[in-house]
Amino acid sequence: MSENAYDYVIVGAGMAGDAAAKGIREVDADGTICLVGREPTPPVTRPALSKKLWTDPDFAFDDVWLGTEEQTGATLLLGESVVGLDPAGRTVTTDAGRTLTYGSLLVATSGTPGGPDVDDPAGTGLVVRFRTVDDYSFLRERTRDGGHAVVVGGSYIATELAAALVQNGVGTDLVHAEERLLGAVFPPVLVDRLESRFTQAGVRLVPGTTVEGGSVEGLDGPVRLELSGDRTHEADVVVAGFGITLETGFAADAGLETSEDGGVVVDERLRTSDPHVWAAGDVAQYPDQVLGRRRVEHVDHATESGRQAGRNMAGAGEPYTHTPYYYSVLFEDRYEAVGTLDASLETVEDWQGEDDPQDKGVVYYVERESDEAQDVQVRGVLLWNVDGARDAARHAIASGAVRADALPGRIG
């Protein structure tokens, strides 16, 4: 093969890309693998960037690397983006003008995080759209001596970052559009608990508020924010924990089937509408056996679907049967979830804490056929400080209609 021809090309050197390279190696010991990644750094375990690196003194910076190159022998082309795909010729082109030929291709590009619209003509980077290891390093350096940060957004990543910053002596405001913190996700008793825990830790919550604009003075700051309701606010650094816009334009332009939200549509083997192209991680819109067709922007899915796609690129031909969970950590509380967590659904709450009921418990998010119906269908399960119950949560969703009063006591 020529220098730029590989048996396997992986677009996106992130968590799914890393898992795919390792999955390929489980089946094919010798095939050549190339990962192309926009970030200048090799794949990292992203959850640590907003949690352990800030809160676990035993977790060192060097623990973030996933060891892709060392463990698989893959070639990493970093700081380079794929901008074009030719499925007929089985090539991709990069923004560095390189053309790579592939036998099998994986799309694992996730997306670009959004953030508030703040003028930064000097390119200070003081509004951090947090996603990468470089974002972590910048924020860490910027807040080394404390200072004052504004975290913007109501996502779980925004809440994790606010908790991380305040626990490291940084004055922290959390500006979010919702009236209650994580109110769209959790039932009111948990929202109460979280709001008081954040406030007690010193985070100033600024609910029901959006950032309408702003500007950065210069490298020394401050960042001036214009908030809804004609308010203004200043900070040394602003951290955005918004959602992402998927990076799948090159796949759609090449004619791969995509979903309305820009996901790359795959079958149960994670293969796209082109037989030589697979997709995994955040971008893959796949048929989940329990939850139905969906995209999942979480780490368990990234590693499991990445590994399965890698195995299948190497010929394993196996269906992806894993129903993923996700997790987060906020101060002392750790939660895991399977399925749909939507506070507008009815909930059945099974609190099991001894001192405070909400120290531990299970929340079932359910739907009823009618108001009078006794039976409910479980759509999502929240495991609040409950370990080892993910399979039981999957089972509760998969096992069809059940009496609502039979749910408490089932898990825990």
Residue with tokens 């690129």: 313
Residue 149 bridge partners (DSSP): 172, 237
The nearest distance, CB 369 to ligand FAD, in angstroms, is 32
Q: How far, in Å, are 143, 241, 398 from residue 161 at the CA level?
A: 12, 8, 33
Cβ-closest position to ligand FAD: 14
Secondary structure of 128-163 in HEC code, one letter for each residue: EECCCHHHHHHHHHHCCCCCEEEEECCCHHHHHHHH
CB of 327 to ligand FAD, least distance (A): 5
User: Comparing C-alpha atoms, which of 312, 226, 234, 332 is closest to residue 269?
Assistant: 312
Nearer to ligand FAD by C-beta: 222 or 380?
380
- Which DSSP category does 258 fall into? B
Nearest distance, CB of residue 92 and ligand FAD, angstroms: 9
Closest approach of Cβ 250 to ligand FAD, in Å? 6
Angle between helices 15-27 and 299-313 in degrees, nearest 10: 40
For residue 33, give both structure tokens: 């693998």
Cα 43 to chain center, whole Å? 14
Q: How far is the CB of 39 from ligand FAD (least distance, A)?
A: 4
Of 288 and 300, which has the nearer Cβ to ligand FAD? 300
* Shortest spacing between CB 11 and ligand FAD, in angstroms: 5
Cβ closest to ligand FAD, residue 25 vs residue 131 = 131
Which of 233, 311 has the CB closer to ligand FAD? 311
Angle in degrees, 0-180, between the axes of helices 156-166 and 188-201, rounded to the nearest 10 = 30
**Tokens 């010729």 identify what position?**
89
Chain residues binding ligand FAD by CB under 6 A are 11-17, 36-39, 46-47, 49-50, 81-82, 108-110, 130-131, 157, 247, 281-282, 297-300, 302, 326-328
Residue whose CB is less far from ligand FAD, 268 or 297? 297
Give the distance from CA 251 to its chain's centroid. 21
The nearer residue to ligand FAD, 214 or 324, going by C-beta atoms, is: 324
Closest CB to ligand FAD among residues 226, 274:
274
The residue among 233 and 282 lying less far from ligand FAD, judged by its C-beta, is 282
User: CA geometry: angle at 35 spanning 60 and 252, to 5°?
Assistant: 120
Least distance between ligand FAD and beta carbon 333 (Å): 13
- DSSP string covering 180-234, please? STTTTTS-HHHHHHHHHHHHHHT-EEE-S--EEEEEE-STT-PEEEEETTTEEEE
Q: CA 381, CA 365: separation in Å to the nearest integer?
A: 6
Q: Which tokens sit at 168?
A: 């490291």
Residue 185 C-beta: closest distance to ligand FAD, Å: 14
Q: Residue 31 CB: number of other CB atoms within 10 A?
A: 18
Residue with tokens 């939507």: 342
**Residue placing its CB nearer to ligand FAD in the complex, 198 or 335:** 335
Closest approach, Cβ 261 to ligand FAD, in A, equals 14
